[in-house]
Amino acid sequence: MRQGPLTGLKIVEFAGIGPGPFCGMLLSDLGADVVRIDRKGQGRGAPSDVTSRGRRSVALDLKRPEAVEACLKLMDAADGIIEGFRPGVMERLGLGPDVALKRNPRLVFGRMTGWGQTGPYAQAAGHDMNYIAITGALHAIGTDEKPVPPLNLVGDFGGGALYLAFGLLAGIIQARETGRGQVVDCAMSDGAASLMAMFYGMKGAGIWKEQRRSNLLDGGAHFYDTYQCKGGGWISIGSIEPQFYALLLEKTGINDPEFQRQHDRAAWPSLRAKLADVIATKTREEWTEIMGATDVCFAPILDLDEAPRHPHNVARETFVDVAGVIQPAPAPRFSATPGAIQGPPPAIGAHDEAALTDWGFSAADIGALRGAGALA
């Protein structure tokens, strides 16, 4: 029995990598019935395939017309779909929005790509780092010497999956009001650019410099940076507001008058070096005891082994153990209709009969697909 605020929502997901599966996970965690169309023979289903959790898998051979028709029948019953192929692939398969929306006018057709459906780069291969490179985001993140990819958080997941989930749900709300579905062209490059809105505003106001580590929020300011402690651990300090900065000086025992020049950019390099020397006198654990859970705006920097054991994460059950794999719990949280991990990552074709039956296929329909070699 599924649970969450999206219970009753029906989504068809065409199997892919990166942001598509993550979007499917988000929707499933909140209760949507997500049926993933897999290719026959692909290996999936390991407990560590976290972003595949909570789906049902139907394995189809899309080279066969019977399988294409089965996909269209699933899309007839769906509220939305997720696909992450290069532009034109779904059309060549006979599964494009021109066909799907004619059959199901209320369908919201979610298209996840790096560069978008149009533009000079639309048909080019790429990865997260490339998509955020043209938005200004990658240039702004890193050390003095070079830009540094921020994992896949800005392109694939922040600029991609989250915007696709947002776009799908917005489209479904409108479709339920008007009876009209539409295509959601979700490009990671567009999403990453959108995430940069505040920084473009700061640039427009003349308070953002292009040089990395020279700004308020990129590690340029001594009061918004990371510091290494005695013994090698690291901490984060974000004491921007004057009252928080004053508490930082109090907790670190700093009474050097130069630290009164908090917002003097010329003083930042010297103040960072001085603060680094102070932080290096104590271990991460000692600083956590002194500044943790205070208004300094402080947190220890934890690795992936340590994070699930942090008292705050433990208290909120931020991480869960599923089949021996530690992974994030569903987010965000709902007071009346909480989400849940709806099941483990599915093996390829694990739900061929059950999912198709639930979505309106008869036993004869399923038998015909098997007989044609279209279904695993």
Q: What does the alpha-carbon distance between residue 12 and residue 80 come to, in Å, rounded to a whole number?
A: 7
> Which residues, at least 6 apart from 10, have a Cβ–Cβ distance to it below 8 Å?
32, 33, 35, 77, 78, 79, 80, 359
- What are the tokens at 217? 């929020």
Q: Which of 156, 190, 225, 352 is catalytic?
A: 156
Cβ-based neighbour number of residue 212 at 10 Å: 19
Q: Which of 49, 61, 76, 127 is catalytic?
A: 127
Q: Is the dihedral of CA 147, 151, 156, 160 positive or negative?
A: negative
- What are the tokens at 317? 């059950």
Q: Are 296 and 227 in contact (CB under 8 A)?
A: no
- What are the tokens at 267? 């003083």
Alpha helices in 47-145 (DSSP H): 65-76, 89-93, 97-103, 128-133, 137-140
Active site residue 127: yes
Q: Sort 243 into a burial class: Cβ within 10 Å, 0-12 / 13-18 / 19+.
A: exposed
Q: What does the alpha-carbon distance between residue 225 and residue 268 come to, in Å, rounded to a whole number?
A: 11
Q: Are 284 and 294 in contact (CB under 8 A)?
A: no
| CA 312 vs CA 61, 107, 268: distances in Å | 47, 41, 32
**Residues labelled as active-site residues:** 127, 156
